Amino acid sequence: MRVIESILKDNAMATLGVKHYGRGVKSYANLEQKAYPRIWVHLINPRDIIHQNGAITSSYEVVAEVSTVIDYTNDIANNETQTEKYLTTLEELQAIYYRYIGMLNKDHRNKLKIGNVNRREILHEYDDNLCGYVFTFTMTVKETIAYQC
């Protein structure tokens, strides 16, 4: 497993509130295990710099999604509108997103660099009608190479 994949997964599963981590292209997210809230990650546009000493620095664009299913069944009993429920859910997911990015930045400061973070809301994604955030960021990682002789 590449360094970036283990970093993204380990931090996602350590983030308070996350029940599932998955990775791959977005279409796979609809077929995957249905445990929410979840973090789904897809790496795009990898770029490698090979240094003279043999070390590799890899740069990625990471597309990550923090999402969950909104349960509207108790809305009438709680006098909560669908909009209020949506906004409350987004606040909870935003906290997960902040914890995740914060953990990545704090725990691996000497191994990686995070930049250009962008985020947008999603609503009614996939068959499960998920809501949450899709965020993109660049990540530069010092990869370790396991040579097999």
Residue 76's pLDDT is 53
Per-residue pLDDT of the chain (149 residues; tens, 9 = 90+): 577 888 888 888 888 888 888 888 876 766 666 788 889 899 888 888 888 887 888 899 999 999 888 776 665 556 667 788 888 888 999 999 989 988 888 877 777 888 888 999 988 777 677 888 999 999 888 776 666 66
Task: Write the DSSP string, 59-126.
Answer: EEEEEEEEEEE---TTHHHHT--HHHHHHHHHHHHHHHHHHHHHHHHHHTTTTEEEEEEEEEEEEEET
pLDDT at position 52 is 85
For residue 79, what pLDDT is reported? 66
In this prediction, residue 57 carries a pLDDT of 87
